[in-house]
Amino acid sequence: MRQLLLFLAFLLPVCVFSQQKGTVRINEIMADPKGLTVFPETEYVELYNTTDEPIQLADWQFMYAGKSTKLTSLLLSAHGYVVLYHAGKDIHIDEGGLGLPLDGFPRNLANAGEKTLALYSPSDILIDEITYGKAKKKIAWERSGGGLYLSKDSRGGTPGSINSLSEVDPVDPVEPEDPVVPELSAIQPFSASVFQLRYDKPVDIEEAVFSISDIGEASRSVYADDTRANVNISFEKELDLGKEYVLSCSGLKDAKGNKIPDRTEQIVLKQEEDPDTPDVPETPSFASGSILINEVMADPKGQTVFPETEYVELYNTTDETISLKGWTFLYGTKSTELTAASLEADEFVVLYRSGRDIHIDDSGQDMPLDKFPASLANTGKELALVDPSGKEIDRIAYEKAKAGIAWERSDTGLYLSTDERGGTPGSANSSPGAEPEDPDRPDTPDEPDIPTSIIVLPNEIVFNELLPNPFPEGSEYIELYNRSDRALPLAGLSVATRKSDGTLSTHYPLSSIASSLEPQGYALLTKEIEGVSAFYLISSPDASHEVKLPVLANTSATLVLFGTKEEEVIDEVCYSSKWHAPSVKNEKGVALERIDPDGDSREETNWTSASATAGYGTPGYRNSQHGTPGGGEATGIEAPAYSEITKEYTIHYHLDESGYTCRAWVFDTAGKRIREITNHELLGIEGELTWDGLAANGTKMRTGVYIFYAELVHPQGRVKRYKEVFLVK
């Protein structure tokens, strides 16, 4: 019987699809439906069949910002419309249109725009691609021959029917898009030393310098809110009322990193309001220290008394109740507005991420926040608290976290909690210097100092993984690997890019990294750890370090790791976007991985794209493409194996080299294709694919014998085919 099944398997046809570009068009995008009254508040994307023939959409792929969603079986009639949306949400579709609910449809289309949508046929041919701009509430972007325009339909969109511009006078002007360069739209003085600059588009203030005539440079500049369009700046010296000043700004960039021209603005602090102007309630301002950042749990891992949830506790030091409406909590430069809670005198409130479990002592209250940092840095971070007037009320920086123990506040600063539970969320802090009440808790020895006598030699530490082109709202990163047999310090090293004339650009020292890099260990370097953890698995938080780094060009650059003092080169890599695997159509969010850790950093064949099965990046742990190029024992790809734990089928593979893409299907014994498991997915050297065990129509498969067929294709033309019989229980 088995021989017969294998014979049938070799006779199975492989379907090849062919589609021309533009046959199906991304025709309408509703990215911000909030406030809609005619339609449900549901985001959607509409497709349109431009041809005179019906098209089967089974196994087509819709891509949003580099992440793909496979379409289910649906026959789209000639010149017909279908609306894609997230399964389970309510949707309105005009008469004649179709709906296609998808589990993998993006849960949130970005309102800020600049997101690329794409459509691929089952044979991986790009059919259509378009990038939409900033969304306007309750109004969809619609497609015309000249691009996208904001819908002119009174309902805000035309889901499932002809676009609005097709029904109005063709000469009707299309709304112009926002200007590319953000313009300073307003200056709001909060006090005699604190101002808010309001731009009409998001800006990047990392390298910006703000200064005022006769006063000098701003002592601090931070984003006022998550729009990244409002910037708070403060000065050591107060400005005189009634006097005219000149505000200068240089080094400001737009959201894409393009430099904004330097400019000056006139500022005058009026001594009194215009008598014709109606009175406006004054925004309350509070004394510094009226509310303190009182406790920080940055590393709750291993907690047994409390849930493993990160939190920050605030404490009202005054004798009055304070409303927290309009207050802002700052984590580095990222801000989160507090909700409208009242904090009683001498009481505590605990901030944490919404949806997570938390313990609060009886005397405190909780404040779940949707935009509370997804992960507080274990290596330390600066935190601040700003009142509704923009005045900074408290600022403190915590040091490296200790697992399961919170930092608590005293008059002299922060200390590790001595409470036997590891912290006191919602109640008075433990006594600094007191012995823990838990006699079973072992004393932790002091962190050993990094030996200054250890010198890192060339090629002992190497560049191992690079992400120059992150997802929108993500962060670039660099991964280092210690290929020596000894622990090595990173604090004496620096990173820079090499200019075209051979000299090094700005040096970025790694002096803040106190820990050593162990043999065969990895170090993840990034400007924002949260910008990495939001998109990739962080298997070892201790390997993650938040540091200043040079900007990584998307196309190509030369990165240099060198000794800070002597500038002796430790490793150097001249990376290029051309090093990505040929199967990678969109490089955004795809990391470049080193294949052989002992190979040459400058060798193009020693680098390739991180595998799709690893999430396109492995920051801080072994690369998905780790191996020896062109060598190694290969066991191929195995048949699906069912797991009682995950209730899914796992397909293990082990290949001889990187670069293979995989197509895989499940057939029944009659040769009928039951389910496509993957379509041209980039594999690593070793890993696994998963399959939920369902058929293409989403139904549970019957018990019986099936055939697994996989085809692996290498860019150099090598093709490997595997057919295995397996049992579905």
Q: Strand, coil or helix: what is 103?
A: coil
Neighbours of 493 (CB within 10 A): 23
163 and 188 share one domain: no
133 and 216 share one domain: no
CA 583 to chain centre: 23
| DSSP string of 322-356, one letter each residue | EE-TT-EEEETTEEEEPPS-EE-TT-EEEEEETTS
As given in the structure block, the two tokens for residue 679 are: 């379509």
Query: Where does residue 270 fall: left (phi above 0), alpha (psi -120 to 50 degrees), or beta otherwise?
Result: beta
Count: domains in the chain: 5
As given in the structure block, the two tokens for residue 708 are: 């697994």
Task: Spell out the alpha helix ranges (H) of 404-525.
Answer: none
In a domain, 142, yes or no: yes
Contact predicate 82/76, CB 8 Å: yes
530 and 656 share one domain: no
Query: Which of 614, 649, 678 lies at the terminal end of a domain, its last residue?
Result: 614
Q: In the sheet that 263-268 helps form, which strands lie side by side, from edge to edge?
A: 216-217, 209-212, 244-250, 263-268
Q: Strand, coil or helix: what is 406?
A: coil
Q: What backbone torsions phi and psi does residue 299 show, to the nearest 5 degrees? A: -135, 85
In a domain, 631, yes or no: no
In a domain, 429, yes or no: no
Residue 30 sits in a domain whose CATH number is 2.60.40.1260
In this prediction, residue 264 carries a pLDDT of 79
In this prediction, residue 712 carries a pLDDT of 86
Task: Spell out the alpha helix ranges (H) of 630-692.
Answer: none
Which has the closest alpha carbon to 592: 582, 577, 603, 602?
Answer: 577
In a domain, 331, yes or no: yes
Query: 572-598: string of b/e by CB count within 10 Å (b at 16+)?
Result: bbebeeebbbebbbbbbbbbbbbbbbe
Contact predicate 32/729, CB 8 Å: no
The rounded distance, in Å, linking the Cα atoms of 40 and 96 is 18
Residue 643 sits in a domain whose CATH number is 2.60.40.4070
**Strand duo 544-546 + 556-563: pairing:** unpaired
| CA separation, residue 294 to residues 370, 388, 412 (Å) | 21, 20, 12
Bridge partners of 86, per DSSP, are 102
In a domain, 410, yes or no: yes
CA 428 to chain centre: 36
As given in the structure block, the two tokens for residue 130 are: 């378009």
Q: Which residue has the tokens 């295995």?
A: 724
583 and 473 share one domain: yes
Contact predicate 69/62, CB 8 Å: yes
3-state secondary structure labels for all residues of 588-609: CCCCEEECCCCCCCCCHHHEEE
CA 468 to chain centre: 14
Q: Strand, coil or helix: what is 689?
A: strand
| CA separation, residue 106 to residues 66, 67, 103, 478, 640 (Å) | 11, 9, 9, 28, 28
Give the alpha-carbon dihedral of 305, 311, 316, 320, to 10 degrees: -100
Query: Which of 133, 167, 201 lies at the terminal end of a domain, its last residue?
Result: 167
Query: Which of 115, 140, 167 lies at the terminal end of a domain, its last residue?
Result: 167
Half-sphere exposure of residue 69, counting CA atoms within 13 Å on the CB side? 21
520 and 603 share one domain: yes
43 and 158 share one domain: yes
89 and 157 share one domain: yes
In this prediction, residue 283 carries a pLDDT of 60
610 and 664 share one domain: no
| DSSP string of 7-60, one letter each residue | HHHHT---------TTSEEEEEEE---TT-SSS-S--EEEEEE-SSS-EE-TT-
470 and 601 share one domain: yes
pLDDT tens-digit map of 421-473: 899 999 999 887 654 444 343 344 444 444 456 889 999 999 999 999 998 88
| CA separation, residue 265 to residues 187, 247, 523, 669 (Å) | 9, 5, 44, 76
Q: What backbone torsions phi and psi does residue 164 show, to the nearest 5 degrees? A: -65, -35
| DSSP string of 185-201, one letter each residue | EEEEE-SSSEEEEEESS
| Residues of the chain where predicted confidence (pLDDT) is lower than 50 | 1-18, 167-179, 271-280, 435-451, 629-632
In a domain, 430, yes or no: no
DSSP annotation of 297 reads: E
In a domain, 441, yes or no: no
In a domain, 146, yes or no: yes
159 and 193 share one domain: no
As given in the structure block, the two tokens for residue 712 are: 């692996």
In this prediction, residue 461 carries a pLDDT of 95
Q: What does pTM read for this prediction? A: 0.39
In this prediction, residue 226 carries a pLDDT of 60
> CB neighbours of 97 closer than 8 A, spacing ≥ 6?
46, 80, 81, 82, 83, 159, 160, 161
299 and 195 share one domain: no
As given in the structure block, the two tokens for residue 181 are: 């360069």
Residue 233 sits in a domain whose CATH number is 2.60.40.1220
| DSSP string of 211-274, one letter each residue | EETTTEE-SEEEESSTTS-EEEEE-SSPPPTT-EEEEEEES-EETTSPBPPPEEEEEE--SS--
385 and 472 share one domain: no
Domain span holding position 661:
636-728
